[in-house]
Structure 1
């Protein structure tokens, strides 16, 4: 039955949707809330940010193991959760050596824990568990290492602000100018024009933050910005590849308009490692 024209012209209550098919209003609201939590925890009491990070990592580990479970991979959850907590604690108290030690102990615990389930699928499940330990808590540990120095809040802020700039700049440039797909079989909407926007936005954000906050040379901000644009894009594509292989859209549904916690950490995780290594050279403690 045709809809009367007067009814068809009535305003709808649908929320604005982005090109990615998400509720744009909800995504912006959640994003602003997350930024507020990060800033408050960073600049009111640094250990509070460590608590926020650990909570996010534990949720992300659960999300990733559940997603892998849909693909037939049974990564041992208990040693991964315990190991994730231990890695971040050791990174905070013992530095890079502690983080590396925590990872190796977690990987060993995963291998031993999985033995109880028998030989069928052992290599598959053990590999999934070690990958989870490496991908989530180990890479997140570099954000903890950034936080440790007295100016750690500024280091973490520089890292997170630059990654956010990569997402925003890439999205804006992709919407306005995107014509040449970067990896159509993995992420069809990601374009080389968007990548250029990410690099430019990262440089514009990173340079003043590093020069004014961490007393680095101006060119250090350009190198830092360009490098994190690349690492953030690689992280985004890596998670997209995993999700496409598993046949899922999101790792979770905890954050309206965003998906799960893991969907927000995809570009941050490899960028934490890149930021730590770069700032070790550009702004040594």
Structure 2
């Protein structure tokens, strides 16, 4: 046993070397997990699109079901709003299927019937807050499955997989361009009370990259497409993607939450990935139908 003398410093036990924390991007997300999940989702999407394209329809249906569950669960937890989940999931799957196999008229009819089913299903509960609950249910039916139905209608075209690739890439480029340019050059806040991280410079970068991607892909992979059509499509997609992101940020701020769920490590929930995709889908579908037919 060592001896100590007055004036000697008391030895300090060796401390274990600190372990490096997983890298995180802005917002406190785990970057490695986010990349891994993103690559996994991309592989599922590509495999389902180009092996048997109808398989991608089931990916959309699953996303609709989980997204509806996330949104209604958060509404119940934070605001005690009880939107009926069963008719929303059943009706949502029906909307997507109708959009793929029968077109927009049948999808709209499925939306109307889903709204009626929500009203009837809620009648089994006491009448207090009936109007509030069915309003939230109808909103959920429109926001999640009906907007996702336009993805199914893009898929139904002969070149459906190519249209989905175009839709996904211009939307992703909008987010990527906005992040990269905003991080480097962002100075002027776009909507500080809704999403403090977004800047006008970032928005310009997102629009520019999305327009570039749209021009290249419209010329190369869409039958009858031209580069100038891609510029228009990419610009419109970037604007709607940004508005969709801001819209969900408004919902989450009202609910007092950061993410809609925890299903996707590094990303949050399904709805946190669909926020920009959902409102962009009808815009891209409409422009493609106008430019090259549906």
Matched, 1:26 2:28: no
Secondary structure at the residue paired with 2:137? helix
Q: Which moved more, 1:171-180 or 1:128-137?
A: 171-180
Secondary structure at the residue paired with 2:29? coil
Matched, 1:122 2:130: yes
Q: Decide which of 131, 145, 150 is 2:153's aligned counterpart.
A: 145
Matching residue of 1:16: 23
How far the C-alpha of 1:216 sits from its partner, in A, is 1.6
1:65–1:172 distance in 2 versus 1, CA, 3 Å: same
Secondary structure at the residue paired with 1:189? strand
Matching residue of 1:196: 204
Whole-angstrom CA distance in 2 between matches of 1:265 and 1:175: 22
Matching residue of 2:219: 211
Secondary structure at the residue paired with 2:196? strand
Matching residue of 1:222: 231
Whole-angstrom CA distance in 2 between matches of 1:8 and 1:37: 45
Q: Which runs of 5+ in 2 are unaligned?
A: 1-10
Q: Decide which of 96, 99, 102 is 1:91's aligned counterpart.
A: 99
How far the C-alpha of 1:13 sits from its partner, in A, is 2.6
Matching residue of 1:58: 65
Matching residue of 1:36: 43
Matching residue of 2:271: 262
How far the C-alpha of 1:169 sits from its partner, in A, is 0.8
Q: Decide which of 152, 173, 176 is 2:184's aligned counterpart.
A: 176
Whole-angstrom CA distance in 1 between matches of 2:220 and 2:81: 47
Secondary structure at the residue paired with 1:67? helix
Matching residue of 1:67: 74
C-alpha RMSD over aligned residues: 1.7
Structure 2 length as normaliser, TM-score?
Answer: 0.92
Whole-angstrom CA distance in 2 between matches of 1:162 and 1:258: 19
How far the C-alpha of 1:38 sits from its partner, in A, is 0.7
Q: Indicate the structure (1 or 2) with the bigger Cα radius of gyration.
A: 2
1:13–1:268 distance in 2 versus 1, CA, 3 Å: same
Secondary structure at the residue paired with 1:73? coil
Q: Which moved more, 1:134-143 or 1:178-187?
A: 178-187
How far the C-alpha of 1:8 sits from its partner, in A, is 9.2
1:58–1:281 distance in 2 versus 1, CA, 3 Å: same
The answer to whether the 8 A contact 2:65-2:92 is kept is yes
Matching residue of 2:253: 244
Matched, 1:157 2:169: no
Superposed structure 1 runs of 4+ greater than 4 Å apart: 7-11
Structure 1 length as normaliser, TM-score?
Answer: 0.95
Matching residue of 1:78: 86
Superimposed CA distance per residue, residues 237-273 of structure 1 (whole angstroms, 9 cap, x where no aligned partner): 0000000000011110000000001110000001111
1:8–1:262 distance in 2 versus 1, CA, 3 Å: farther
Superimposed CA distance per residue, residues 110-132 of structure 1 (whole angstroms, 9 cap, x where no aligned partner): 11111221221011101000000
Whole-angstrom CA distance in 2 between matches of 1:236 and 1:71: 21
The answer to whether the 8 A contact 2:214-2:227 is kept is no
Whole-angstrom CA distance in 2 between matches of 1:144 and 1:222: 23
